[in-house]
């Protein structure tokens, strides 16, 4: 409970900080739509403002579109489509409102739902460009080539300060990944260091993206995350059929010897059985990214890959993994079932029985069980914090605009601005502290910090709702 005493005051401050105008809360007459603006925080003259428009009640909006206008100026018309891992139905306007040259002040934007033309208006406030924090004014995209990689980062950020260390780190991780994977990278690996936490702090798409900042509240795991994402990048360069997420993520965690840190994968997965948290494989294979507890899914998937490699050998596993044919109309669990029959002549039920028996043979230390339980509690708390107070960082709907386009257009604010009210800072400090304690094996301190964050979020939810 330590560090909570000032929480109520902070929460009350946060509630007033979070009130519109700039954040785009619907006005009294507005329909049940929510508008999120980016950059994520106060808007300044000169910003290229993006909008996410979605139903606050999650009403179905298929075959509809949204238009935004400012007076006679049409800022764009965008179809409502699934967004993010959570597939939220929304109209997403990337950098639609260029505020360069405007006066500071309030602007009423009109939102029209098409085709029925129902409309509402919301007011957004632009602060003077002169008030922009100097670090943001001066920030520029920079890139540097190393033997293995191309590193992209923003000037003035922690990545620039620690660049020499990061160059050494990525070289070491690239060599390690090639060795463990048994293949060489084709070309230089593009890695972008992001100066804010988005989702869990790392992802791979057209390159590798890793959150890098001293106050990384999602855990101090840069090296581990780079290793994990490099496995994905190298994996993606190999010949393959349907790379099922359960196996793709399982392989990345298995070859990285852990998820967010080096950890005993099989004993941790065995502890899931003890704790009643084991997910049946057919359920785990379906909707791997969005339907299950994240850390449980990843450790169990890694244990499955570890079991398959131990049982059949790495070569046989690779042949199995890389030759799963696309299965249109089938679920991922069905595709996995068919591949298991074809390659290993085993049924899913038989695999599950053998796998869980294999796990039950693992010795599970009390510390392993405690560490696992608190790791899950920690990341559930990180996600709860993001959902409540940094929604654009929450992994299901994270704001991840195309970063090569941002580099090309010199856009930096989307990555530099994020909520930084007193309650944000207080919670992030507690999360950083909890992560450090967890990594040091000080479970009592870690649990106290995790509990403190949840108490603050409970108070925030209570008082926030009272004050709305």
Where does this chain bind Zn ion (CB under 5 A)?
A: 249, 252
Nearest residue (CB) to Zn ion, 253 versus 453? 253
Q: Which residue number, 260 or 358, has a Cβ lying nearer to Zn ion?
A: 260
CA distance 231 to 235: 6
- 412, 406 contact by CB (below 8 A): yes
Whole-number minimum distance, CB 306 to Zn ion, in Å? 16
Shorter beta-carbon distance to Zn ion: residue 249 or 337: 249
Closer Cβ to Zn ion, 217 or 233, answer by number: 233
Q: Which CB atom, from 160 or from 249, has the smaller least distance to Zn ion?
A: 249
At its nearest, how many Å lie between Zn ion and the CB of residue 412?
26
User: 252 or 324, CB closer to Zn ion?
Assistant: 252
171 prior amide bond cis, ω within 30: no
Q: Which is nearer to Zn ion, 398 or 413 (CB)?
A: 398
What is the distance between the alpha carbons of residues 243 and 332, in angstroms, rounded to a whole number? 10
Alpha-carbon torsion, ordered 189, 195, 197, 199, to 10 deg: -30
One DSSP character per residue, 82-117 reads: EETTTTEEEEEEEEEEE-TTPPSEEEEEEEEEETTT
Instruction: Give the contacts of 459 (CB within 8 A, at least 6 positions apart).
Output: 7, 8, 11
Token output for 45: 């003259």
CB atoms under 10 Å from CB of 117, counted, come to 8
In the complex, what is the shortest distance from the CB of residue 385 to Zn ion, in angstroms, rounded to a whole number? Answer: 21
Q: Which is nearer to Zn ion, 139 or 246 (CB)?
A: 246
Whether omega before 39 lies within 30 degrees of 0, making that bond cis, reads yes
Identify whether the C-beta of residue 335 lies closer than 8 Å to the C-beta of residue 251. Answer: no
Specify whether the CB–CB gap between 402 and 414 falls below 8 A: no
- Distance in Å, CB of 249 to Zn ion, minimum: 5
Q: Least distance to Zn ion from the beta carbon of 227, Å?
A: 11
Q: What's the closest the beta carbon of residue 93 comes to Zn ion, in angstroms?
A: 29
- 308 backbone dihedrals φ, ψ, rounded to 5°: -65, -40
Query: What is the CA 414 to chain-centroid distance, rounded?
Result: 15
71 token code pair: 């007076």
Q: Which is nearer to Zn ion, 249 or 447 (CB)?
A: 249
CB of 248 to Zn ion, least distance (A): 7
Minimum CB separation of residue 225 from Zn ion in Å reads 9
Strand partners, 202: 210
Q: How far is the CB of 245 from Zn ion (least distance, A)?
A: 9
How far, in Å, CA of 49 to CA of 357, rounded?
Answer: 54
Q: What is the largest CA-CA distance in the chain?
A: 70
């Amino acid at each position: 409970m330590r560090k909570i005493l000032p929480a109520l005051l902070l929460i009350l401050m946060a509630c007033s900080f979070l009130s519109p105008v700039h954040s785009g809360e619907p006005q009294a007459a507005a329909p049940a739509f929510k508008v999120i603006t980016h950059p994520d925080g106060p808007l300044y003259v000169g910003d290229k403002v993006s909008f996410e428009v979605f139903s606050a009640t999650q009403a179905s909006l298929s075959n509809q579109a949204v238009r935004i206008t400012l007076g006679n100026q049409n800022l764009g018309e965008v179809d409502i489509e699934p967004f993010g891992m959570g597939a939220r139905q929304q109209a997403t306007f990337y950098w639609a409102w260029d505020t360069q040259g405007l006066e500071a002040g309030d602007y009423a934007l009109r939102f029209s739902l098409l085709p029925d033309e129902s409309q509402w208006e919301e007011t957004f406030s632009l602060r003077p460009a002169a008030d922009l924090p100097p670090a943001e004014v001066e920030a520029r995209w920079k890139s540097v080539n190393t033997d293995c990689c191309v590193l992209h980062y923003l000037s003035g950020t922690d990545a620039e300060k620690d660049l020499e260390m990061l160059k050494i780190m990525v070289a070491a991780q690239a060599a390690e990944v090639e060795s463990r994977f048994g293949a060489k990278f084709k070309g230089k690996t593009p890695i972008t260091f992001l100066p804010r936490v988005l989702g869990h702090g790392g992802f791979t798409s057209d390159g590798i993206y890793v959150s890098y900042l001293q106050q990384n509240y999602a855990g101090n795991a840069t090296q581990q995350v780079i290793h994990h994402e490099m496995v994905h990048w190298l994996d993606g360069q190999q010949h393959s059929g349907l790379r099922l997420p359960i196996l793709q993520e399982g392989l990345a965690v298995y070859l990285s010897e852990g998820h967010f840190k080096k950890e005993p994968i099989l004993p941790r997965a065995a502890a899931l059985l003890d704790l009643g948290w084991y997910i049946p494989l057919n359920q785990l294979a379906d909707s791997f990214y969005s339907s299950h507890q994240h850390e449980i899914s990843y450790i169990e998937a890694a244990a499955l890959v570890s079991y398959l490699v131990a049982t059949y050998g790495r070569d046989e596993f690779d042949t199995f993994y890389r030759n799963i044919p696309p299965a249109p109309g089938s679920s991922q669990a069905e595709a996995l079932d068919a591949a298991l029959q074809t390659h290993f002549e085993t049924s899913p039920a038989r695999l599950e029985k053998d796998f869980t028996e294999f796990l039950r043979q693992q010795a599970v230390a009390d510390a392993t069980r405690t560490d696992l339980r608190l790791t899950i509690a920690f990341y559930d708390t990180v996600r709860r914090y993001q959902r409540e107070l940094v929604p654009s960082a929450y992994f299901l709907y994270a704001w991840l605009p195309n970063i090569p386009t941002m580099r090309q257009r010199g856009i930096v604010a989307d990555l530099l601005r994020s909520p930084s009210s007193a309650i944000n800072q207080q919670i992030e400090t507690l999360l950083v502290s909890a992560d450090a304690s967890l990594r040091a094996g000080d479970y009592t301190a870690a649990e106290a910090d995790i509990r403190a964050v949840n108490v603050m979020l409970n108070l925030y939810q209570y008082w926030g709702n009272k004050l709305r």
